[in-house]
Amino acid sequence: MAAVEQDPLLLLRQSIASGGAILPTASDDASAPEVSLSQATHLTFTSPSRIALPIDMPTRFTSDDEPVDLRSIYFAWLNREVAIPEYNASASQLNDELAGKGPVRKLSFVERLDLITWLEGASEESEYIKPLAGDKDGSTSTAAAALASKGAAAPTIGAAVGRSGKGTLDPRLAAIYNSERKMGDRNSVLRGIKPTDFSHVRKHAAIFMSKKPLQPSSTNVSNPSIASHQKPKRPDPIILLSPSASSLLRMSNIKSFLEGGQYVPPDSVAASSSNSASMLHINRLMKDVEPNRPMRFILVEGPEQFKPEYWNRVVAVFTTGQSWQFKNYKWSSPHELFRHIPGIYVGWRGEQPPESVVGWGHRVMNVGVERWKETAHGVDTSRWRDREVVEGIWKMIEGNMRSKGWRRDQAPSSI
């Protein structure tokens, strides 16, 4: 192993991007054979070179402000495709096999989604991953993660931070310079090999380099370009779907509907690729909330893994009119629920909505889509009205988010 400590998160992301093998082993020997996760004491990375790290070492990923160990991170990645109940059951089984060696930490569905998105390279930032040591603004971590997602060698912690200094060098350049071959230039050749001590200059420069505290009236405080670098991270809004089998919109077809503007049946071939997903995320530009870049929305069918504060992030609830859907909600009464969160009922165009939906009043948006027409090629090309329905739904969600206090850099503290 290198003298400078390697960051396990960057190594894991780099190995995933390059397709290198990740092996649980029972020894710190990089050539040790693979064993089961319950017997492993180390995790061996084979790309770009074989490196073995203790499997119980803490990482920069935090849950409830506590660092999560490498075994729990790797276990969450292995179970990225399974639903939350299966993930929790597998974690409990592994904890029984570990028998006191240190339990696997069960991540919530939002934490697991954020971790998997970051490891896959789909995102360069994570609200649960702390910056590298000495990297206060997170820029070096972001640059190193970007290189790792492209299969490049991730820089060591000490080298990346040491070369970048305190704002004297772009972190991306520091990551590149970490593997450069040092060569002499004209000045080094003319000066010869005798080192010159310039430490005395530091004492004279300290007078001019000392930083003065910013005053409230300073122009830098009101400078928007400087203030923008200090904005807090805003959590992603959440949309709840109906788990009912009679719902026209399920996890298998909701992405094509809300993001693509076209309805397909949930059991069709076009929708089957997302049929096993327990959570999804889609992107949408909300001009009245954040006009510069699309917002990411998290879609789930139930709140089983919700923390209390997650309810402040729910911006819409899709329903079929069946009140059993709200049994485990924070507000189990439909009338109370839709006082806080807008509801959406999607049925067939021309059909009357259920009496329960009508009884819930104007707080539940009632829309209809054209019935699906089976064709020889399995594709209905007459879905031009779907986008009109989708735009109406997003307009309602955006207006409600604006009224609840969603902004470019903040989310509401209560709804």
35-52: pLDDT as tens digits: 988 888 888 888 767 888
Query: Is 95 a residue whose pLDDT tops 60?
Result: yes
pLDDT value of position 191: 53
Question: Which two structure tokens, joined as six digits, stand for 109?
Answer: 């569905």
Confidence of residue 165 (pLDDT cuts 50, 70, 90): very low
Question: Which band of pLDDT confidence, cut at 50, 70 and 90, is reported for residue 317?
Answer: very high
C-alpha to C-alpha distances, 175 to 18, 57, 143, nearest whole angstrom: 18, 24, 7
Report the pLDDT value the prediction gives residue 231, as an integer from 0 to 100.
56
Inform me whether the pLDDT recorded for 381 exceeds 80. no
The residue extents of the domains of the chain are 8-130, 238-404
φ and ψ at residue 281, rounded to 5 degrees: -135, 140
> Of 263, 252, 249, 240, which is closest to residue 310 (Cα–Cα)?
240
pLDDT tens digit sequence for 328-356: 999 999 999 999 999 999 999 989 999 99
Provide the pLDDT for residue 219. Answer: 41
pLDDT for 73 = 92
3-class DSSP state of 61: strand
Q: Which CATH class is domain 238-404?
A: alpha beta
Does pTM top 0.75 for this prediction? no
Is the CB of residue 202 less than 8 Å from the CB of residue 210? no
pLDDT of residue 393: 95
pLDDT band for position 385 (50/70/90)? confident
Q: What is the pLDDT of residues 142-156, one digit of tens each?
A: 656 655 555 554 444
Q: To the nearest whole number, what is the mean pLDDT of the chain?
A: 79
pLDDT at 6: 77
- H or E segment and range at residue 298: strand 295-300
Token pair listed for 405: 């206090």
Q: For residue 200, what are the CA distances in angstroms to 34, 162, 188, 206, 327?
A: 56, 22, 20, 10, 73
Cα–Cα–Cα angle for 2, 169, 200, nearest 5°? 90
Residue 113 near residue 281, CB atoms below 8 Å: yes
Strand order in the sheet with 22-25: 22-25, 42-45, 51-54
